[in-house]
Amino acid sequence: MFNCILIENTDGYTAKLAQLDESQLPDHNVTVQIDYSTLNYKDGLAITGKSPVVRSFPMVPGIDFAGTVTESSSEHYKVGDKVLLNGWSVGEKYWGGLSQVAKVKDSWLTPLPAGMSTKQAMMIGTAGYTAMLAVQALLKQGITKESGKVLVTGASGGVGSFAVSLLSKLGFEVIASTGRTADTAYLIDTLGASEIMDRNELSVPGKPLTKERWAAAIDSVGSHTLAGVCAGTQYGGVVAACGLAQGMDFNGTVAPFILRGVSLIGIDSVMRPQADRVAAWKQLAELTDPAQLETISRVIPLNEAIPAAHSLLNGEIRGRVVVDVNN
């Protein structure tokens, strides 16, 4: 038997702590004893049922996890290997990581980077990995610290916290856009932002073009904020769009693209090819500081995951929530 969070949709949408038998696990080729999972925005949507992200019931949520292989018929993984998983619709379409055990396809797994513990991997989790993909996209487009400042929206959230921290480690001057303008100690002293911007400046409808204030941006908010981000991007700048915390809509104009040559790059972490994942995790292992990870994250037991999911969607959580599934 093993413990997990289980979402059902028979007599209404419910999420509860459950005990299941291993024979109920899906039939995939690698079994993983999970150490840690995390709570991401999407897990919040899945657990609360606020958005229809779960596509099959019953569902064990949890879009990421890290642990040890205990059974494998894969040529790529053997018993004892340390692995992590992000995305591939796990926790949406296939049973996920808010569980003590998971059975998954070998192609969904990534080997744990050398020198990283399973706990550190989940302190980074999908949020840190997505932030790394966004940073790498800006670098690939030729953005350097000499290009100018980089704006990060949703800066106190999981993706935003890592985006600020990774950019600052790479020497960029970072503007952190946030609703928590009083929390400068976290954004400036802990994460390395150089400026704080009130998110209300961007979250309402604005002009098609505004003063050129940043060379690049990582946006995890979408909606009017993304339109405002593009409008304030300097000539030839780059915006990496990776989230929708304000909304899925995008009420911008083409002005930034056709008058300032701004590029808008989409970031998807879920179906990302394996080579990009390995490259992102390799750079995360080089750039992340274990002491800072402890400040960005807090660890909760499995039985607190459901209330924490509600808090996450209510914007009450700063940084990352790691779930110790064995506690």
Contact between 38 and ligand NDP by CB under 6 A: the answer reads: no
Shortest spacing between CB 268 and ligand NDP, in angstroms: 5
Stretch that binds ligand NDP, among 36-44, 99-107, 229-237, 250-258 (CB under 6 A): 36-44
Q: Which of 267, 302, 308, 309 binds ligand NDP (CB under 6 A)?
A: 267
**Which C-beta is closer to ligand NDP: that of 180 or that of 260?**
180
Stretch of 54-62, 71-79, 106-114, 123-131 lying at the interface with ligand NDP (CB under 6 A): 123-131
Binding residue for ligand NDP, selected from 37, 72, 99, 130, defined by CB under 6 A: 130
Q: Would you count residue 118 as binding ligand NDP (CB under 6 A)?
A: no
- Binding region for ligand NDP (CB under 6 A) out of 99-107, 139-147, 236-244, 295-303: 236-244
Pairwise CA distance, residues 112 & 117, whole Å? 8
8 A C-beta contact, residue 66 and residue 82: yes
# of chain residues touching ligand NDP (CB under 6 A) = 32
Give the E-state strand segments of 53-168 in sequence order. Answer: 64-72, 82-86, 101-104, 109-111, 150-153
The answer to the question of residue 102 lying near ligand NDP (CB under 6 A) is no
With vertex at residue 293, the alpha carbon angle to CA 166 and CA 273, rounded to the nearest 5 degrees, is: 55
Say whether residue 155 binds ligand NDP (CB under 6 A).
yes
| Angle formed at CA 37 by CA 115 and CA 41, multiple of 5 degrees | 120
The reply on whether position 277 binds ligand NDP by CB under 6 A is: no
Q: Which residue lies nearer to ligand NDP by CB, 39 or 101?
A: 39
Give 322's strand partners.
Answer: 38, 299
Between the alpha carbon of residue 230 and those of residues 89, 159, 161, 162, 297, the distances in Å are: 29, 19, 20, 21, 30
Q: How far apart are CA 210 and CA 234, in angstroms?
A: 9
Strands 150-153 and 214-219, how do they pair? parallel
Please, what is the minimum distance in Å from the beta carbon of residue 196 to ligand NDP? 10
Burial of 70 (0-12, 13-18, 19+ CB in 10 A): middle
* Residue 126 within binding range of ligand NDP, rule CB under 6 A: yes
Residue (7 or 229) nearer to ligand NDP, CB: 229
Q: Classify residue 125 as exposed, middle or buried by CB count within 10 Å of its CB (0-12, 13-18, 19+).
A: buried
Residue 315 in the binding site for ligand NDP (CB under 6 A): yes
Report the SS3 class of residue 31: strand
> Residue 243, interface with ligand NDP (CB under 6 A)?
yes
- One residue of 36, 41, 65, 95 binding ligand NDP per CB under 6 A: 41
- SS3 state of residue 154: coil
* Binding interface with ligand NDP (CB under 6 A): 40-42, 126-127, 130, 154-160, 178-180, 199, 203, 220-221, 225, 242-246, 267-270, 312, 315
